[in-house]
Structure 1
Amino acid sequence: MNFEPEWHARIAAAASGSGFLVDDLHVLTCAHVVGDRPDATVSFLALGRDHAVPGTVVFRGPWRPGDGEGDVAVIRLDEAVPVAPARLAPLHGVDIFDGHDLAAFGFPSGYTATGQISYFHADPQPRLAGRACQTRALDRRGFVLREGYSGSAAYVTGSYEVIGMVISADRAGPNGSGSGVILPVDELNRQWPQLAERIPLGPFGAGPYRELRDILQDVDLPDAHTLRLSVFSGPDAPPIHRRPLPSVLAVVESVAVLTTHSKERVSELVVQLLREVAKRAPHRRNDLHDWTGRHGWGIDPAVTGGSSVDTVARQAWVVVRVASTGKSRRLHTLTIWTATGPEGELDELVLDSMEVSRAKVQSLVQEKLPLAYARIPRSCETIGVEFVLPRGLLGWDVENWVAKGDPVPLGWKGPVVVRDVDWFDSAAPHEIQKRARKLGEHPGTLDTTMRWLDCASTEPEPDRFTPWLWLDDTPVALGLAGRWAAEQHVHQAVASGVPALLWRRTACDPHPEPTTTCPGSRFHRDMAERLRSLRSDQLPGQIRKLRVESGLNDDPEHCGRHVTLLWDEPRRRPVQLGVAE
């Protein structure tokens, strides 16, 4: 038979079901298909009947039997497959393609070897329990949704854009209604936010689309339904939707994906539409003009090439979170993620909240690091390790730890930074996010961005350090040396929300010779000189280079020795994740 898209997947786990490939390593399916299993077997008809790929369940939504809420799971394949992934519709895809014929490729009883296609319509409104959408069979005499379709993609016939995932179907037998339930793309993305990195917008890549969502999220125009008239006229205009689209963003999405023009022409139409939005939403005018200037006249090659998100990512991180259990000062919970997306967001859970004594943290981290590295695509050029620690442990020499079986210190192999666990877990991290954005947007280099305090500094006075940190012109990158590198001042700076903090974990002689320069002042001088011409985003990589240089240098006062860099990435914060290794 002809199974046109190759990304349909057959899943064998707690139950038999379906799934679909979203990049060359990840398959989406239903949580009830994988059940409590930590692993699954995935096969693709395009690769041959006997070609099965094992995989690990790396995410499971908060699904419970009898409840469609959170019925989403993600399987990471043990090896990449040579299959083009599904093309995901934009977040309002179920609204944009309202009335279009949809299909799902499943593996019902009697067709587990070949698969079978079911055709239906989906009702975008009202949402069932506020989340899912009901479907209606196009022809009840044909193949209706039933057991074996769970986890299959609901896609637009002809274009094969995926607008959702089948999670349940009418079980009333051959004479039933033929109805089913799908989770639309926006709900899949809400459950597994990493999906956003796989969603393009017509000719635009996932990155520009994400930026546009941020810009338009608060734009509410009463006459949004008329926006299309500003760019379309005559017979080439797409048909009017049966129901008004729910937002300005949905109107823009529809222009990007519903036209049959060339990619270049679609890009021009979107630019024209956004210029019209800018006229009606002046508070977003500058942002929209900036977006169209950067993205409006070029096409993201990653979109047209059918490559996965892994080919885009170049910098990956392993995120190690150590937090107090509240039971004992010496007992902690240890969690480890990978972060491989282009925006640096948390990706896959490697170890989930294991209780461990403080004395065992290092050995367990070193044991689990090879497993985390194995989860990171080979296309990533560098891998850093980010330690999220309680404030009292920020001075750990984590850059000197090693992965099991590898004698090279972590701080030599890649960037190693620390973060404060209270800010990482905070439900309202607005202050540190604001300062981190300010740091990232600063056009200059670190010689103008970074402020230093050392033994020779007289302002501020130590007992006025905390209010100084809250001044309007407080630095967003701060270096502490000598007496200012004492734990008390480090904690004060971290508590204020400074997103970039550099200090050396050695004290100055309290009674230096009058003719000598104290080590703190020398550290300040040497480090500031080595950083002065860099942008802020180059700081973690430069500190790695200086750590390696210190290993080649016999000077005990080399600025790369015993140095800690606190570096807060505001986009990398915990989301609800599921199954652990």
Structure 2
Amino acid sequence: MSSASWHTRIACGNEVGGGFLVSARHVVTCAHVVAQDDPARGVRPTVTFANRPDLAAFHATVVVGDAWGGGVTDPGDLAVLELAEPAPVAPAEFAPLEAAYGAQPPKLLVQGFPDGYDDEGTLAEYRATADLPIAGEWVQLEALSGHGQPLAPGFSGSAVALAHTGQVVGMASAVAGDPRVRNGRMLPATAMARYWPRLGDLIPTPGYGREDKERLRTLIARAEAARVECRPEQLYNDALERHGTCPPERRFSSLWDAAWYLLTEAKDTGAPARYAARLADFVDDDTATRHALQSWPQGRPSPPRGPSPSPRTTPAPPHRPAPAPTATATAAPAPDPGPHPHPHPHPHPHPACKAARQWESVLVEIDHSGADRGQFLVTVSLGRGRDRQLVGARTLPRAKVRAYALERIGEAYRLLAPGADDLIAFALPKQWLNTPVHEWQRSKDDPTPLGSFSPVVVMDLSRRRDAMLQHALHRSWQVLEEQADLVLHRIECGSGRAAKPLTYELRRRAGLLGFAAPPKAARAKEQFKAGLNAAVPVILWPHTGCKGGHEEDEPCPGSTFLDRLAHYLTARAPGELPHEIWQLRQNPDQEWAQHLTLLWEDPRCLPDPAVGYQHSPIS
């Protein structure tokens, strides 16, 4: 401590206290020490360096100090002074967050300026009682012994530092009212940074360096300037997901306050990055700030886990043997659908492989908002296997769902690893499943459909959230990958098959399910539910199919579609269908497939549903 030249004595009016230098021109002290500051009357703080008597006094200006209400127990008793000129003194260094606490708390030293020591100051020896904050603000200090210098007026604003290193852990802010009670309070460093965010750059935090915090602080300020419509508590809860750390009893005073709490209190070191990404979703009018928040702290997305071969360049293995005729229909020889866009489809992966590709999935979940049936909760995430990174979640009227989903899909692609196997998966309510999301125009500047740009599949949102059906889906994929022959169960035009026996049949023999027409009619809807309840992993149908009204001896467009589909699927592995159908959609000779809808769900390579957002609409 004898070499700590950053200790300061501060005089303002008739008040004297301590302070400490944190940058060449900034000194931190208590707000009540400089409460008499009034430049109009010529009352301004004067700063001297107690351990550098060779330096003249510095004039200073109070630049931070409005958070304190003026009462002894009011929070925010912190002020920052800006010196008229830089001080030739090395600033104080802050200790790690837990350094002042423990089973045997270390000795803490405080240099103050009580009566009798107005100029040179004196030292008091204390220790922290516990790291449990009082009213979420202060830490109690108790004297190391029953004699020696107690905390008294003149110590307020002084640094509380580790005796063995000189590193700062907090600031003395209050003394006991009775001089016989040898205790006091300090404002810990973590609380100080709530009132002056720049201080957070200097305080060590797990996993994040000074530049990371400075950048986050700047981005939060830019987001606030853009008037984002979100609450700190909302972003905090979203960032924690299902991980540790309960929220504090107090309300957050700002977006930075919540971010700082996560930086210093969350046991999950990934929570601050999720907080930044969640905030990004609400920055609508500042694209640069949104992108910077999404990629904080490193400035670029983290790499995927495991290998991720590109679908554009992966070498193709030889054909799988063609299967035997399906068990559910004996159709006439199917017309040749034309040349395959990918002449060497991938074979069934070995069961030990678990999934043919290491997809990086852009998962779009659309659900009715709990607040209003006319509102929909749209959640967009990037999935690497079972891991999820939230990109955006917003409650919107139906008319705005498409534009928001497409914009956030584009944002998710900024986070994909170069060359990754990309998959866009829409988890939709049943009444949305025939929405041709694969035909959505990719962007305002690109009129081509989304499904020609990337593999696009749909899933039933309610099945995604049914644990029993998810377990059954795992089993269905295991059976499919062990089969030598691929079965396509056909639902022909006008089929009257009852749902219950169809469910049993689909469970008995795992396979794919094909519809000759969109499942919109009442009977077809029940048959479609049968496929979902039987845990059929792949269901296919044309967006525009047979409309009926033709004679029995006339060719049915729906049957023709199923024939083409059966022929096409003979040499395809179910796990590769998103990639295969994507390539098929790009072939102008395969017009029959342009309006094909693919329901495909492999829970082994998709993140779990966003259950945290099911019931609480986000606005």
Give TM class, smaller chain. 0.3 to 0.5
TM-score with structure 2 length normalisation?
Answer: 0.42
